[in-house]
Amino acid sequence: MPTLFISDLHLSQERPEITELFLTFLQNHAINAEAIYILGDLFEVWLGDDMILPEYQSSIEQIHKLVEKGIPVYIMYGNRDFLMREQFEKLSGTTIIHEPHVIDLYENKTLLLHGDTLCTDDIDYQKFRAMVRNSQWQDDMLAKPPQERLDLAKKLREISKTETAQKEHDIMDVNQDAVIQAMRDVKVNKLIHGHTHRPAMHNFKIDETTACRMVLADWYKTGSYLSVDEYGYKTVNLN
C-alpha cells in the first residue's frame, strides 16, 4: 500500500468545494493508504483548539473515521495552523509531527518539512515566523478572547497579502543552499515539502550524491497528492 502526502489545502468557508474534495480524498483514496502525511496548512487558520470553526468539523470527523480504520494520519504545522495542540489530536485522531521530521520511506530515508524554513531569502517572512513560533507569543495569543483572536488573525492575513503582492516572486521560493544544508543536517537525499505552491520534482547533487526534492501542490483550485510506494513516486490529480 502507498503512503500519501498532501499539503496547503487551506480549508475555509470561502471554498467549500475544496472541503468536499478533501472529504472525497479521505473516503475514496486515503482508505487504501498505508499512512497519510499532511505537511502543513490543512486549514486556512487555526486559532486554538477551544474555538474550532464550524466549517472544519466535517473534515476533522472524517479524518478520525479514517484513523479508526487503522490508517495513521500525521500532521505537521504550517504557517497558518501552528496553534493546533493535544485537543486537536484527540478530536481528529491524528499525530502532530514536528519539523524536521525524518521517516524511513520504503528504505529511503526522507526528510519532511512544511517548506517555509527553506525560504531564507524572504527575510521579512522569517522574522514574522520567528515571532509567531515563539512560545510566549503563542501563549499570549491563546489567552486572548475568541473574537480578539479572530480580529488579529484577519489583520495579520491582510498584512501578509499586501506584503506578498509587493515581493519578487523568486524571493518567496526556497533557497537551494538552505535545502542542501537541511538535508545534510539529517543525512538524507530525499525531501518532501509544500508551502511554495510550486509543485515539481527537483533532482540535484549533494556532495556528488544524487538528491531529490519533491514539492507538493496546493489545493486552491483543485487537489492532488503524492503517492509513494516501493516502486517509486507519482502525483495523482483529483477531479
- What is the tens place of the pLDDT at every residue in 135-161? 999 999 999 999 999 898 888 778 777
pLDDT band, very low/low/confident/very high, at 205 (cuts 50, 70, 90): very high
pLDDT of 3 > 70? The answer is yes
The Cα 36–Cα 27 span in angstroms is 13
- In this prediction, residue 239 carries a pLDDT of 73
- What is the tens place of the pLDDT at every residue in 172-185? 799 999 999 999 99
Residues 6+ apart with CB under 8 A from 8: 40, 41, 78, 194, 195, 197, 216, 217, 218, 219
Give the length of the chain.
239
In CATH, 3-238 is 3.40.228.10: no
Cis? peptide before 2, omega within 30° of 0: no
Residue 85 vs residue 163, higher pLDDT: 85
Closest CA to 190 of 199, 198, 201: 201
pLDDT, the chain, mean: 93
- What is the tens place of the pLDDT at every residue in 57-72? 999 999 999 999 999 9
Lookup result for grid cell 515566523: 129
pLDDT of 168 > 70? The answer is no
- In this prediction, residue 115 carries a pLDDT of 97
- In this prediction, residue 37 carries a pLDDT of 98
The Cα 164–Cα 171 span in angstroms is 10
Q: Which amino acid is at 91?
A: L
The Cα 56–Cα 42 span in angstroms is 10
How many Å separate Cα 106 from the centre of its chain?
21
Task: List the Cα angle 89/93/95 in 5-degree steps.
Answer: 55
pLDDT of 164 > 70? The answer is no
**Would strands 95-97 and 108-112 be described as parallel, antiparallel, or unpaired?**
unpaired
In the chain, domain spans: 3-238
Q: Is 5 helix (H, G, I), strand (E, B) or coil?
A: strand
pLDDT band, very low/low/confident/very high, at 84 (cuts 50, 70, 90): very high
- In this prediction, residue 11 carries a pLDDT of 96
Lookup result for grid cell 486556512: 44
For residues 172 and 125, the answer to whether their CB atoms sit within 8 Å is: yes
**Would strands 3-6 and 223-229 be described as parallel, antiparallel, or unpaired?**
antiparallel
- In this prediction, residue 171 carries a pLDDT of 72
- In this prediction, residue 166 carries a pLDDT of 60
Grid coordinates given for 21: 474534495
Closest CA to 92 of 69, 61, 71: 61
| DSSP per-residue letters across 126-169 | HHHHHHHTSHHHHHHHHHS-HHHHHHHHHHHHHHHHHHHHHS-G
